[in-house]
Amino acid sequence: EEYIRYRSFDGSEITAFTATPETGYNAAVIVIHEIFGITEFIRNVARRLASLGYLSIAPNLYSRRADLFTEQNIMTVMRRFWSLPPERRTDINAIKEFMNSLTPQEREIVNELVINRESTEERMINDIVSTYNYVRDTYKPRKIGIIEFCMGGGLAFEAMTRVPIDAGVIYYGRSPRRLDDIAKVRGAILAIYAGEDPAINQGLPDLMKAIITYKPRFEMVFYPGTYHAFATEGGPAYNEAAAKDAWERTVNFFRKYLG
């Protein structure tokens, strides 16, 4: 395993954690992180994939400001934000009041991940597309998959509408912003959801309509009684039984579509 660097769409340098199988590989899997960045959990996912025979690469989507956007800094600020009642998280006055309680560096994190979230995610999606192109051109695998968690799930779902990824496993990620873009998906999708995750699950009825309309290869599994991020080992919502079952499904899915 090692950290590598490559150029993204705008010329910026991206850092990525990679794990390479000792026995060679025919396929690669891009690992997209949660809101907290390249954590030990994400590195372990990459390691697990390498042990299965896949080249795995986890780009740091905060590479441009890696000094500020560390796991600890993001966790400290966002947990304070998430402590606000859900109805206040979209209230302009409540957000202004919250921002006034922060340091300038903390405000930058909130600006990036809350206030300007849509533009931040668009840049991150373009970074994922650049990562796909880099993996395709540099390592030349026969097939490329993607796996993603939480925030990364929504980003990768969007990326699948822009480049021909062969297989994507989406752990409780939001649906693409423009559901008609599902018509552009070329690979197979495995979507994994927590039963108690209203922010994500409220979008599922419209997603199902789009799936029925555009007919991508789509599988879905729903875990009743679990919460968002239930697969993150060491996290507050971790559910061992559901996480192990979801990982077994993930492995079988990648074997089916990536070899």
Residue 67 known to be catalytic:
no
Work out the pLDDT band at 72, boundaries 50, 70, 90. Answer: very high
Q: Is the pLDDT of residue 102 over 90?
A: yes
Cα dihedral 121→127→128→131 (10° resolution) = -170
Residue 150 known to be catalytic:
yes
* Candidates 33, 127, 166, 228; catalytic one: 228
Cα dihedral 100→105→109→115 (10° resolution) = 40
Rounded CA gap, 167 and 147, in Å? Answer: 9
Rounded CA gap, 2 and 25, in Å? Answer: 17
Q: Which two tokens stand for residue 63?
A: 């590479």
Work out the pLDDT band at 159, boundaries 50, 70, 90. Answer: very high
Residue 33 known to be catalytic:
no
Work out the pLDDT band at 6, boundaries 50, 70, 90. Answer: very high
What pLDDT is attached to residue 64? Answer: 96
pLDDT mean over 23-37: 96
pLDDT mean over 114-120: 94
What pLDDT is attached to residue 97? Answer: 93
What pLDDT is attached to residue 46? Answer: 98
Q: Is the pLDDT of residue 108 over 90?
A: yes
Hunting for tokens 């925030």 — which residue is that? 151
Work out the pLDDT band at 90, boundaries 50, 70, 90. Answer: confident
Q: Is 24 exposed, middle or buried (0-12, 13-18, 19+ CB in 10 A)?
A: exposed
pLDDT mean over 55-72: 97
* Candidates 150, 181, 206, 245; catalytic one: 150
Instruction: List alpha helices for 140-188, DSSP H.
Output: 151-160
Q: Is the pLDDT of residue 186 over 90?
A: yes
Q: Could you give the percent of the chain with pLDDT greater than 70?
A: 100
Report the half-sphere exposure of 171 (CA within 13 A, side-chain side).
28
Work out the pLDDT band at 87, boundaries 50, 70, 90. Answer: confident
